[in-house]
Structure formats: C-alpha cells, structure tokens
Chains A and B, each alone.
Chain A
Amino acid sequence: MSHSVTETEKLDNTTLGFWLYLMTDIMIFASLFATYLVLVNATAGGPSASDIYSADFALLQTVILLTSSFTCGVSALLLRRGKKTASMWLLLATVVLGAAFLALEVFEFSTLVSEGHTWQTSAFLSAFFTLVGTHGLHISVGLIWAITLLVYMYRTRIGSDMVRKMMLFALFWHFLDIIWIFIFTIVYLMGVAS
C-alpha cells in the first residue's frame, strides 16, 4: 500500500482547511451582526439608521457585487473546462466589479465621516462601521487575491493546481456575496424601512 499523496487527497485537504476557515469567518460575521442588531437603536442623539441609508445606493452595490459573483463563478467553470484565456477575462471583470463595489463603499464611508457621522458618534455607528467595514476588508483582500491569481494564471500553464486555486477563490468570493445579501437586508433595507 503506497502512501503517496494523490491529487484528490491534496484537493480534499485544502478544501477541508479552507472550508473550516470559512466556517470560522461566518462566526465573526455572526457576532458582528448580533452586535449591530443589539446596538441599532443606541444612536446617542446622533443620526438613526433611516437618516443615513439610501436604498438605491445599496441596491446598486448589491447588483454590482452579485454580477461579480456571477462572472467569478463562470470564470472558474471555464477554467475547469480548460478555457484559460476566457477564464482570465472573466476574472478580470470580477476584479473590476469588485473594485467598483469597494469604491462605492469608500465613497459612502467618507460621505458619512465628512458629515460628522463617524464611528465615535454612537454605538449604532460603531457597530455599522465595524460590520460593513469588516466585509469591505474581506473584499479588499479578495481583490488582492484575484489580482495575484491573474498574474499567476498569466505566467503559468494550466494544470490541476491552477484549477484548485481558482476554485478556492470562487468559494471565498461567493461567500462574501452571501454575507453581503444579509448586510443589504438587515442593515440597509431594514434601516431604510425603520
């Protein structure tokens, strides 16, 4: 019986590790969501949720991130079929859309801060900036990851390693989009409706 590590075992171990990481990351977001829900009315005389959110703006962000999630999934799909060039174009589209999403978030944060609504204003705003900012931080890391992946794909021949790297990135990016649905619903939509 040989004990050489086969390609499938390697894939399974990597997937297991990454899966466990995602599960623990969900715990972080769950804690931040719980914090937000507890503190959402603690405005300390500052603006309340319905004062500072715009449903249109949040919908725009949602559509952009959802589209990037779609292009990312199709990119991984094409790479599994051996279509590297097409896959790279779609990954590039994912990066551009992700950057647009992040730019909108930075714009929203800077607008709030310039109006004097900072994370020091109230417990509600602290919780808001922490929750949405943590998601934005994940998006930033994802963008760096996608760009390094693009460089790697450009310089390397297609192989099972490349497919695995792409699959893990796609998993991460889809995960971030699912987290965003809940930010969109619980923070923005419920905030506007309140």
Chain B
Amino acid sequence: MSRSLAHELGRYSTGFITALVLSVAAYQLVVSGWVTSGGWLAFILLVLAAAQMIVQVAFFLHLRSEQKPRWQTYSYAFTWLMLLVIIIGSIWIMRNLDYNMHIAPEQVNDYMLKQAQKGF
C-alpha cells in the first residue's frame, strides 16, 4: 500500500504530461485544419476530451487501483446515466421540436408582437 513518494510523484507527472499532450493535440487538430469533415473533427475532439477525463480520473483522483466502497461505484454509474439522459435527451427533443415546427422567423416575430400586445 505505502508506495514511495518518488513513485507517486512520477504517477502524477505522467498524468499531467499526458493530459497536456492531449490538450495540445486537440488544439493543433483545430488550428491546423487537417480534418476537413466537421462531423469527424467533433467526434475526434470528443474522444480526446473523454481520454483526458479518464487520464485525470485515473492519475489524479486515484479512482483506478484501490478497492472503493460499493456506493461510490453505484453513484458514479447513476451519475453517468443521468448525464446521458440530460444531454442526449435535451438535444434529441429540441432537434425534433425544431424539425416539427417549421416556422419562418417573420412568423415568430409576428407571434411575439401579438403576445406582447396582449400583455404577459
């Protein structure tokens, strides 16, 4: 259990440098314009962000090696479920709404003016 200080410092430094490399890689990818497809670029950027999150959780938060209590695992899994529901669910619903409500901007303007005249 008790590892040497040098060993732990080395672990932190590895995590730090890896995170730094991932950040600069994501930056380079955007600035250089190597990837021309917007969808692929977004996908690669998200993968790099997820990789960096895993690196930081593993190297800085010590959630990798030691035995952790079961509630911690459950709350972690539950959080991920909620995150996906909130983010993917919102985007899905709003896109769908947008698609089903093809209103011209002028119509929206007229509608809002009428509402304003009625008083809120």
- Residues of chain A at the chain B interface (Cβ within 8 Å): 12, 16, 19-20, 23, 26-27, 30-31, 33-35, 37-38, 55, 58-59, 62-63, 66-67, 69-70, 73-74, 77-78, 81, 170-171, 174, 177-178, 181-182, 184-186, 189-190, 192-194
A193 pairs with B26, CB closer than 8 A = no
Q: Which of B98-112 contact A (CB under 8 A)?
A: none
Q: Tell me the nearest residue of chain A to B31, going by C-beta.
A: A55
B42 pairs with A70, CB closer than 8 A = no
B49 pairs with A185, CB closer than 8 A = yes
Bound: A55/B45 CA distance, A = 13
B9 pairs with A181, CB closer than 8 A = no
A73 pairs with B24, CB closer than 8 A = no
14 pairs from A and B in contact (CB 8 Å cutoff): A30-B83, A31-B86, A34-B90, A58-B27, A63-B20, A69-B56, A70-B60, A174-B56, A174-B60, A174-B61, A185-B26, A186-B46, A189-B30, A189-B45
Bound: A72/B53 CA distance, A = 17
Q: Which of B19, B24, B60, B89 contacts A59 (CB 8 A)?
A: B24
B23 pairs with A171, CB closer than 8 A = no
